[in-house]
Amino acid sequence: MRFSGLIIKRPAHKLLSGFTLLLCMIITPCLHGDELKPFTSDGCSMFPDGSLYDNTLWLSCCMAHDLAYWQGGSYEQRLAADIELKLCVTRLGEPVLGKLMLAGVRLGGSPYLPSTFRWGYGWSFPRSYAPLSQAELVMVRNQMLQQGLTPPSLTGKPDLNQ
């Protein structure tokens, strides 16, 4: 490698081992599939769960939002989950906080950040925006049933008949 007159020689075995490691990191998740971790929630991540008078006032809004974030999915599904969080908090009489929470989750909830509250945090990192496959929807449903949670329909849309 030449760099302003400086020659850096790298042994071939180091280049090959680095390439092999990179290849394994890319291929291994594809070969083994991804496992869905059990649903967890920290409430309103980095935000109070309620007001001074009712310290869990909007906690249920955050829990529903966390459930959507745990599953992950498409960009449109994330946007819908974020807007639903804002609307839920607004319905509780806190429209300004709803807007503030919307801004926070839009900035901090990207699937590309290695955080515990990123979009799709139930799956291994990194995971991008993508609709859940039928097999992944079954995994979500089974995990929710095991945890006593109400699962969505297998189409990824709410089941209005429940």
Q: What is the pLDDT of residue 51?
A: 92
Using the predicted structure, report yes or no on whether residue 102 has a pLDDT greater than 50.
yes
Q: Give the C-alpha separation, 162 to 152, whole Å.
A: 10
Using the predicted structure, report yes or no on whether residue 141 has a pLDDT greater than 60.
yes
For residue 12 the two structure tokens come to 């071939």
- Whole-number average pLDDT of the chain: 82
Using the predicted structure, report yes or no on whether residue 155 has a pLDDT greater than 60.
no
Using the predicted structure, report yes or no on whether residue 14 has a pLDDT greater than 80.
no
Q: What is the pLDDT of residue 158?
A: 41
Percent of the residues in the chain that have a pLDDT greater than 90, as a whole number: 70
Angle at 130 between CA 35 and CA 143, to 5 degrees: 35
When pLDDT is cut at 50, 70 and 90, the band that residue 129 belongs to is very high
Q: What is the pLDDT of residue 10?
A: 55
Among residues 19, 29, 119, the alpha carbon closest in space to that of 74 is found at 119
Q: Is the peptide bond before 114 cis (omega within 30 degrees of 0)?
A: no
Strand partners of residue 6: 3
pTM for the full predicted model: 0.74
